[in-house]
Amino acid sequence: MKIPETLTFECETGNYHTFCPISCVARLYQKIEDSFFLVVGTKTCGYFLQNALGVMIFAEPRYAMAESEEGDISAQLNDQEELEKICLQIKNDRNPSVIIWIGTCTTEIVKMDLEGIAPILEKRLGIPIVVARANGLDYAFTQGEDTVLAAMAHRCPDYKHYGIDGGMPSEIKYSKINTNPKNESKDKLTKANLVLFGSLPSSVASQLNLELKRQSVPVSGWLPSQRYNELPSLGEGIYVCGVNPFLSRTATTLMRRRKCQLVGAPFPIGPDGTRAWIEKICAIFKIKPEGLEERENQIWKNIQDYIKLIEGKSIFFMGDNLLEISIARFLIRCGMVVYEIGIPYMDRRYQAAELLFLQHTCEKMKKPSPRIVEKPDNYSQVQRMHELKPHLAITGMAHANPLEARNIDTKWSVEFTFAQIHGSSNARDILELVTRPLRRKSGFTPNSRSLSKQILES
């Protein structure tokens, strides 16, 4: 897919000013219900997990720290023996279906051979051990999930495309669905060979499954699945489609190593993105989508109270979680002006459909195209914000208070990462986060009886 030439791309020399990617443990251990995550690092990593993720009072989280001490770093202790002791304890106490090792910066610096040790201990303990490098030296914090899913893609069973006789596929499931309710004679068999990848709450994943089922496109599996032994089959003949913009490594692994076919679509964030996502998938399966326009229009109607608050307002993305392009596109569709989209890293091939959709949205809404700055320099960004004076800045936590002190309203980007923002029905949650600083300052209250009066007076 061709990337639009009208968008302005720049690359600065700033470092990744983001959360540590080991934070991916927070959502992944909840998603993969029979897993256990072992983070191999230092006490600093343990403090980060404890403070950033919190500890549930009534339920013990399924992750732990393997803390490297002086003997480990100076090679006086045997890494394999130490990790075996810990994993044996995990097996006896929790008996998970899979143990996922998360390598941190420390394991990179001391060159700890996790990939070499894991197969040996896997045979001894009889538990699958998946190794994922999620260190903050190389990745923005959302890319921690990307490395875990890329590692898990290698553990998915092989999809046998052809039967023994070379005829029809032997492992394709079929479901008979009426694709045209007005004409009951037009039933068709639809192959269930679509796998979606990206970690979403079960309720949101179910919503997307239902959206596709309405269009007669059943989903054969998710990566990750809720249970390790339910990982989807992968191989030639399987289409894969991502739900998050930060999963470029996983997409590459699925295409190059597992020979799957990637569906290049915008991401299902906002009613516009969800509709475009479904339409692209339907086009791949040669299915004419039905009812999408009516459903999207209804969603836009339901969020008009929020749109009136932000229409004509300006926003600046400093760059933190790699969701910036999709959220900016949705906010432009809501009537906002986006001055700049900072992003820590961007795979232009994986996000090509989203970038094209962003350009079309700017043209449709008659808004200027934002400049896109990869790996932005935060000092330069602050200077640009002083000149542009945006109404709101989406930023990492490190820069929120300094910007607030300079009279720039801010919203933490990490909140969008952990909120439910996918699918048409969750568009209101995105706008709830975006408008909260503006409502706090102006006194607007969505859905209140005086809302229209407040807007007219403003």
How many degrees, rounded to 5, is the angle at CA 400 between CA 397 and CA 403? 155
Other beta carbons within 10 Å of 121: 20
Helix extents (H) in 311-377 = 324-333, 352-365
DSSP assignments along 231-260, one per residue: PPPBSTT-EEEESSTT-HHHHHHHHHTT--
Q: Work out the angle at residue 124's Cα, subtended by the Cα atoms of residues 120 and 126, and round it to the nearest 5 degrees.
A: 110
The mean per-residue pLDDT over the stretch 393-401 comes to 91
CATH 3.40.50.1980 assigned to domain 21-139? The reply is yes
- Residue 168 corresponds to which amino acid? M
Average of per-residue pLDDT values in the chain: 86
| Most confidently modeled range among 117-121, 160-164, 191-195, 435-439 | 117-121
Domain topology for 174-291:
Rossmann fold (3.40.50)
Residues of the chain with CATH 3.40.50.1980: 21-139, 174-291, 294-457
Question: Would you state the structure tokens that stand for residue 454, as one six-digit string?
Answer: 């407040």
Q: List pLDDT tens digits, range 100-132.
A: 999 998 888 888 899 999 999 999 999 999 999
Q: How many CA atoms lie within 13 A of 371 on its CB side?
A: 12
Q: Which pTM was predicted?
A: 0.87
Q: Report pLDDT for 140.
A: 86
Residue 379: what are its φ and ψ, rounded to 5°?
-60, -45
Cα gap 244→198, rounded to integer Å: 6
pLDDT, tens digit (0-9, with 9 covering 90-100), for 338-359: 999 999 999 999 999 999 999 9
Pick the CATH number of 294-457 from 3.40.640.10, 2.60.120.10, 3.40.50.1980, 2.30.30.30: 3.40.50.1980
Among 30-44, 174-188, 235-249, which stretch is predicted with the lowest mean pLDDT?
174-188
**DSSP letter at 216?**
T
- How confident is the model at residue 168, as a pLDDT? 39
pLDDT at 134 over 90: no
